[in-house]
Amino acid sequence: MSDVAVVDEFKELLRKTNKTDPAEADVLALRVFLRRRPHMWKAGGDLVQQAALQLIRGTGGPAIMRESLEKGWDVLRNELGYREAPPLERLLIDQVGLCWLRHNMLELMYTSAINEGMTVGRGDLLNRRLAASQRRYLRACETLARVRKMVRTTPALQVNIATAGGQQVNVATTI
C-alpha cells in the first residue's frame, strides 16, 4: 500500500472515530490499523506534543509568537539530539522541552504582571509557580545530563583470547 493510501485510510478512520460515540466497528478498524502500523500512534497519542501545543496555543499571543514557539519547541528538541537519541533520552528531551516552554511562559506572565502592577497575593502566587517551574526545568535538565553521562561512561568490556601459537587477541566493546 502506498504512503498516500495509508494516509487516506488513516484520515477516513479518524473521520469515523473522532466523535463522541463512534461505531464499535470503526474503533476496531482503527485499532487494527494502529497494530499494523505502530509508528502511526503519535498522530493522535503523543501527549507531550499535545501538551506543548496546548501551552503554545493557550498563550493568546499574536500568531508570530505562537508560530515561533512551535518552531522553537522543534529546534530545541533537535538541538538536544532528539532524532539520534535512544528512547529513554527522547523521553527526557521531551520533558526538558516541555519544562522550558512552561517555565518561560510563566516568566513572561510574571514580567507582564510586574509591569501592570500586580497585587501582593497575585505576585506571591506567580512567584511560587515560577519557582516550581524552575525546579522542574532544572531537574529535567539534570536528569537528561545524568543519563547521558551514564551512557557515555559505561566501562568497556575487554576479553583476551589466546589463539593457536600463543598469540593474544584483545576484543573490547562498550557494555
Does 38 share its domain with 113?
A: no
- Quote the pLDDT of residue 45: 77
Neighbour count for residue 119 (Cβ, 10 Å): 9
Does 88 share its domain with 61?
A: yes
| Count of structural domains, the chain | 2
Does 64 share its domain with 26?
A: no
**Of all residues in the chain, what percent carry a pLDDT higher than 90?**
53
What distance in Å separates the CA atoms of residue 14 and residue 19, rounded to the nearest whole number? 9
pLDDT digits (tens, 9 = 90+) for 6-38: 888 888 888 899 889 999 999 999 999 989 988
**Is 168 in contact with 161 (CB distance < 8 Å)?**
yes
Does 14 share its domain with 89?
A: no
Residue 168 is assigned to a structural domain of this protein? no
pLDDT at 175 > cutoff 60: no
Sign, Cα dihedral of 63, 66, 67, 68: positive
- Give the structural domain span for 65: 46-152
Q: What are phi and psi of 86, to 5 degrees?
A: -70, 165
To the question of pTM greater than 0.85 for the whole model, the response is no
Does 21 share its domain with 53?
A: no
Neighbour count for residue 73 (Cβ, 10 Å): 20
Does 71 share its domain with 120?
A: yes
pLDDT band at 170 (very low <50, low <70, confident <90, very high): low
Residue 88 is assigned to a structural domain of this protein? yes
